[in-house]
Amino acid sequence: MAAIVDLDPNTAGMLHAALGPDSVVLPTMDALRRHLETQFTEDAVVLGPNIDLRSALDLAGSMRVTRPSLGVILVRRRVDTSVLADAMRAGIFEVVEERDLAGLTAAVRRCRDLARALRETVGGPQADGDGSKRGVLVTVFSAKGGCGKTTVATNLAAALADGGRHQVCLVDLDLAFGDVAIALQLFPAHTIADAVPLAGTLDTQALASLLTPHSAGLTTLVAPVEPGHAESIPATLVTTILELLKQTFEYVVVDTPPAFDDHVLAAFDQSDLVALMATLDIPALKNLKLTLETLELLNYPRERWRIVLNRSDSKVGLALSEVEKTLKVPISLQVPSSRDVPASINRGVPIVLDDPKHPVSQAIKAFAEKQVVTQGGSGTSEIPPELRTDRRGVRRRRAKTP
């Protein structure tokens, strides 16, 4: 988002129209300073031609020290060498002529790109929200459909929110057939597809406008309504969205499709934990074993894997000890069978909220506390771009899971 200041309402309105609805107009420099005291994710300030040059230079000089990722853009009716020299000394990001609205838009975009790069490099309030640490991201995945990914993801997100004690965002990354909105009986005004036109300028404020609240502490970013929109959402945009959400929320939970596509790999790259799901049947366990082998092939750290066994008390002739021995990974969460779970889904209320003392609720809340909350902050290591590229190449050639 960009903050615009000009003493003339007509000029301020013209600048606002050029920058779009995700910009905000403030009437005075004092109002701007109050705005910046609370809006730590602000990336750009546009000072109109009716703002005194000395006031503009003083603000830029101050922000250069206290908010180095904030870019100050100066709009003048005429740009001469004297103004450019003063602006350069004060640390103003760019000087743009009043009539050059296209140049102003491009300057704000460059300002946002620089701010994003600075956040990734040095952190700070803009990167960490409360100035401390990034949120923990958990991806829920199964290579086989029907294992209960959405049920576990929605209940895990609700358990982490804990009635508003924590701020949690649930992301539906099943872009073609996502069920989070239906499972929670949401009627969203926006979906993740609405982020596509904002891809070059997306920030936390713009992303916040696409979110749909559910209950205290729990917010969602739902999948597109039309399955065809999935093809228009690039994996790079998913990466940006998840990075921004980790800056804003304490916990991010990602529900995924049953496929190793680029969107899922982007989520894995950002994940502090990956909850890998299966049920007590041979096809599901076979796919889980192939998933583990694929993750190892793609060099995803084993310490981030968590095995989740849904309907774990099913009497089907398979012992849990045999499953762990076959997988060579311990089971972190056993979710018991219950008819109450589909009933809660039909009501649009996660069972951890509908019946907190239910055995399913207790199991998921224990997992949330012991496996997720104890992470305490992002443990995600930086992944070199060449490795990410190689992962996708290997995945296409060798990691095709049924």
State how far the Cα of 306 lies from the Cα of 371, in Å rounded to an integer: 8
State how far the Cα of 135 lies from the Cα of 270, in Å rounded to an integer: 11
Smallest CA-to-CA distance from 222 within 258, 173, 287 is with 173
Residue 384 has pLDDT above 70, yes or no: no
Residue 188 has pLDDT above 50, yes or no: yes
Q: In the prediction, which pLDDT does 141 show? A: 92
Q: How confident is the model at residue 67 (pLDDT cuts 50, 70, 90)?
A: confident
pLDDT in tens, 90-101: 778 889 999 999
The domain limits of the chain are 2-128, 136-398
Q: How far is CA 45 from CA 67, 74, 145, in A?
A: 12, 8, 47
State how far the Cα of 346 lies from the Cα of 326, in Å rounded to an integer: 35
State how far the Cα of 134 lies from the Cα of 372, in Å rounded to an integer: 14
| Residue 219 near residue 209 (C-beta atoms within 8 A) | no
Q: In the prediction, which pLDDT does 359 show? A: 92
Taking residues 385-393, report their average pLDDT.
49
Residue 124 has pLDDT above 50, yes or no: no
pLDDT higher at 118 or 387: 118
| Residue 195 near residue 156 (C-beta atoms within 8 A) | no
In terms of residues, how long is the chain? Answer: 402
H helix or E strand, kind and range, residue 207:
helix 204-208
Beta bridge partners of 275: 140, 306
pLDDT in tens, 13-56: 999 999 988 889 999 999 998 888 877 778 899 999 999 999 99
Residue 379 has pLDDT above 50, yes or no: no
CATH no., domain 136-398: 3.40.50.300
A 10 A CB-CB count for 117 gives: 11
Strand ranges of the sheet holding 168-172, from the earlier edge strand across to the other edge: 212-215, 218-221, 168-172, 251-255, 136-141, 273-279, 305-310, 331-335
Q: Can you tell me which residue has the tokens 């762990």?
A: 324
| Topology of domain 2-128, CATH | Rossmann fold (3.40.50)
A 10 A CB-CB count for 359 gives: 15
pLDDT higher at 392 or 65: 65
pLDDT in tens, 128-184: 444 445 789 999 998 888 888 999 999 999 999 988 888 899 999 999 888 899 999
Q: In the prediction, which pLDDT does 137 show? A: 94
DSSP 135-173: PEEEEEE-SSTTS-HHHHHHHHHHHHHGGGTS-EEEEE-
Q: How far is CA 2 from CA 24, 39, 40, 292, in A?
A: 6, 11, 12, 44
Q: At CA 320, angle to CA 318 and CA 324, rounded to 5?
A: 115
| Residue 223 near residue 180 (C-beta atoms within 8 A) | yes
| Average pLDDT for the chain | 83
Residue 122 has pLDDT above 90, yes or no: no
pLDDT higher at 126 or 27: 27
Note if the pTM is more than 0.85. Answer: no
State how far the Cα of 359 lies from the Cα of 341, in Å rounded to an integer: 11
Q: In the prediction, which pLDDT does 149 show? A: 92
Q: How confident is the model at residue 127 (pLDDT cuts 50, 70, 90)?
A: very low
Residue 199 has pLDDT above 90, yes or no: no
| Residue 4 near residue 12 (C-beta atoms within 8 A) | yes
Phi, psi of 186 (to 5 degrees): -100, 150
Q: Answer yes or no: same fold for 2-128 and 136-398.
A: yes
Residue 383 has pLDDT above 60, yes or no: no
Beta bridge partners of 94: 73
| Residue 40 near residue 125 (C-beta atoms within 8 A) | yes
